């Protein structure tokens, strides 16, 4: 019997890990007010566990000024509600390029925080990694991953998918535009067609994702959050990687972020607006895209590892927290900015 105890303890610890402990304890705290996951205080999170707690929130008591909707929650002194701001339960989210790599890792992070996450990607089937992740997530409270085949360069299909997902849930709380392509080629060898097809995905596709999402957020008066995945390659020319148009496309995404955020940030009198737009600029991450680069360019991995302060390349999982931060109320005063996470690469 005594010999079984460590095993039982390990099992219990593993079970505890399956549901983020912060979220579970927050959801079961009877003094907790659960506002809308990423947007206004008055809207209701949909999980059964949170429903009773949400009822306790008196929307009439909330400020009449829509600009005040993101003011800190009013909770009793002594209640720790910081992690509540990361809780996405009841919210609907979309991640393009969510079949694999960085998009999938961030989608998983959102689902782990309780969000319903719809991943859009060009393949008829998601990757095996997606299937494993979706299966693993099933026991979580509310958080789920869904897959839709959508090519983001097909603007009509992209818009239809975003409308359908939003109409189904009557809301859209956040979007991560992570779909992107890369091509290694010297500038003088770039054809017009190659340049166009790169920009069609990395710039126009991202713009159309953001605008389609914003239209739905406006329709449902969701003060949502949009994250455009750029890259540190939008700020520097990457040593060892000849990809001039890719780098330029990412610089365009960083600038697009500022312009869109300026248009959509304020909440109008009719309740429309309050949509935040930020860019995320990662350094090197070992994803299928980068593994292909390593096959194409000898010694590239070592070059890149030597180029940042930490002397290593990152894993996609290291961006889960950033994606969740940007899409949740934890970043409620952040818009028009570019979050750079690159192991110090661009700080040298
Ligand atoms: N891996 C890195 O080091 C790194 C660094 C900085 C930025 N990024 C950016 O992160 C994003 C994700 O990159 P990744 O490394 O995970 O690459 P990846 O190739 O592993 O994943 C990209 C995903 O986007 C999808 N996609 C491409 N074109 C599409 C289209 N037209 N319609 C729908 N889906 C499409 C792909 O099918 C794939 O699933 C990209 O925007 C990339 O530029 C990556």
**What pLDDT score does 33 carry?**
27
pLDDT at residue number 72: 52
CB within 6 Å of ligand 1 — which residues?
A: 96-97, 99-103, 121-122, 151-153, 178-181, 201, 205, 229, 231, 282, 284-285, 287-290
- Which one of 246, 266, 292, 320 is the catalytic residue? 246
Beta strands in the chain (DSSP E): 92-96, 116-121, 144-149, 174-177, 225-229, 276-282, 338-341
Give the chain's largest Cα–Cα span. Answer: 73
Q: Is residue 120 part of a domain?
A: yes
Query: What's the confidence (pLDDT) of residue 16?
Result: 39
**Residue 57: closest CA among 72, 40, 42, 71:** 42
Measured in Å, residue 322 CA sits from the centre of ligand 1 at 17
Residue 33 falls within a domain, yes or no? no
What confidence score (pLDDT) does residue 196 get? 98
pLDDT for 162 equals 98
Which SS3 state, helix, strand or coil, does residue 152 take?
A: coil
What phi-psi label fits residue 90: left (phi over 0), alpha (psi between -120 and 50 degrees) or beta? Answer: left
pLDDT digits (tens, 9 = 90+) for 70-86: 455 555 565 667 888 99
Which of 179, 239, 280, when mutated, tests ligand 1's pocket best, judged by the most ligand atoms within 8 Å of its CB? Answer: 179
Atom of ligand 1 nearest to the CA of 201: 31
Pocket-testing residue among 94, 96, 97, ligand 1, by greatest number of atoms within 8 A of Cβ: 97
Tell me the CA distances in angstroms from 286 to 289, 290, 311, one per residue in order: 8, 6, 14
In this predicted structure, what is the pLDDT of residue 45?
Answer: 33
Q: Is 71 a catalytic residue?
A: no
Does any domain span residue 239?
A: yes
The CATH number assigned to the domain holding 311 equals 3.40.50.720
Is residue 345 exposed (0-12), middle (13-18) or buried (19+ Cβ within 10 Å)? buried
Rg (CA), the chain: 21
Please name the residue whose Cα sits nearest to atom 38 of ligand 1.
97
158 in any annotated domain: yes
**How many Å lie between the centroid of ligand 1 and the Cα of residue 90?**
27
pLDDT computed for residue 28 by the predictor: 26
For residue 39, what are the contacts with CB-CB under 8 A and spacing of at least 6? Answer: 69, 173, 222, 223, 224, 274, 329
Q: How many domains does the chain have?
A: 1
- The verdict on pTM exceeding 0.85 is no
Distance CA 321, CA 27 (A): 20
Q: What is the whole-number distance in angstroms between the Cα of residue 97 and the centre of ligand 1?
A: 6
pLDDT at residue 61, as a whole number = 33
93 is catalytic: no
Long-range own/partner contacts, residues 101-104 (CB < 8 A, 24 or more apart): 101/178, 101/285, 101/287, 101/288, 101/289, 101/316, 102/178, 102/229, 102/282, 102/285, 102/287, 102/316, 102/319, 103/176, 103/178, 103/179, 103/229, 104/129, 104/130, 104/133, 104/316
Q: Is residue 322 part of a domain?
A: yes
Is 80 part of any domain? no
Residue-range definition of the domain harbouring residue 129: 88-347
> Which one-letter DSSP state was computed for residue 173?
-
Does residue 62 belong to any structural domain of this protein? no
Q: What is the side-by-side order of every strand in the sheet holding 116-121?
A: 144-149, 116-121, 92-96, 174-177, 225-229, 276-282, 338-341
**Of 263, 276, 250, 284, nearest in space to 337 by CA:** 276
Element (H, E) at 210: helix 206-219
- Alpha-carbon distance of 28 to 51, in angstroms, equals 11
* Ligand 1 atom closest to 98 (CA): 39
- In whole angstroms, what is the distance from residue 131 CA to residue 78 CA? 41
Q: Is residue 81 one of the residues assigned to a domain? A: no
**Residue ranges in the chain whose pLDDT is less than 50:** 1-68, 70
What residue's CA is closest to ligand 1, atom 43? 180
């Amino acid at each position: 019997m005594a010999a079984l105890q460590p095993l039982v303890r390990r099992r219990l610890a593993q079970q505890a890990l399956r549901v983020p402990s912060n979220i579970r304890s927050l959801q079961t705290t009877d003094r907790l007010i659960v506002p809308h996951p990423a947007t206004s205080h008055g809207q209701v999170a949909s999980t059964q566990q949170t429903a009773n707690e949400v009822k306790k929130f008196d929307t009439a008591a909330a400020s009449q000024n829509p600009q005040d909707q993101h003011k800190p929650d009013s909770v009793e002194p002594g209640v720790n509600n910081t992690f509540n701001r990361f809780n996405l339960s009841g919210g609907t989210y979309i991640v393009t390029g969510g079949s694999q790599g960085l998009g999938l890792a961030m989608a998983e992070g959102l689902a782990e925080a309780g969000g319903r996450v719809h991943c859009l990607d060009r393949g008829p089937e998601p990757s095996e990694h997606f299937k494993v992740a979706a299966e693993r997530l099933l026991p979580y409270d509310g958080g789920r991953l869904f897959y839709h085949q959508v090519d983001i360069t097909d603007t009509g299909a992209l818009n239809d998918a975003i409308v359908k997902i939003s109409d189904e849930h009557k809301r859209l709380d956040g979007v991560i535009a992570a779909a992107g392509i890369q091509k290694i080629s010297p500038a003088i060898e770039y054809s017009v067609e190659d340049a166009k097809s790169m920009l069609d995905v990395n710039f126009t596709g991202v713009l159309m994702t953001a605008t389609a999402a914003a239209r739905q957020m406006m329709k449902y008066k969701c003060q949502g959050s949009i994250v455009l995945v750029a890259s540190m390659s939008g700020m520097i020319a990457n040593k060892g990687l000849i990809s001039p148009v890719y780098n330029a496309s990412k610089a365009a995404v960083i600038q697009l972020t500022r312009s869109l955020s300026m248009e959509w940030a304020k909440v109008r009198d009719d309740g429309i607006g309050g949509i935040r737009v930020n860019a995320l600029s990662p350094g090197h991450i070992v994803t299928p895209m980068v593994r292909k680069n390593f096959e194409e360019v000898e010694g590239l991995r070592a070059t890149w590892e030597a180029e940042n302060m930490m002397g290593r390349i990152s894993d996609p999982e290291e961006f889960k927290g950033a994606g969740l931060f940007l899409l949740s109320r934890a970043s409620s005063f952040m818009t028009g900015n570019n979050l750079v996470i690159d192991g110090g690469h661009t700080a040298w």
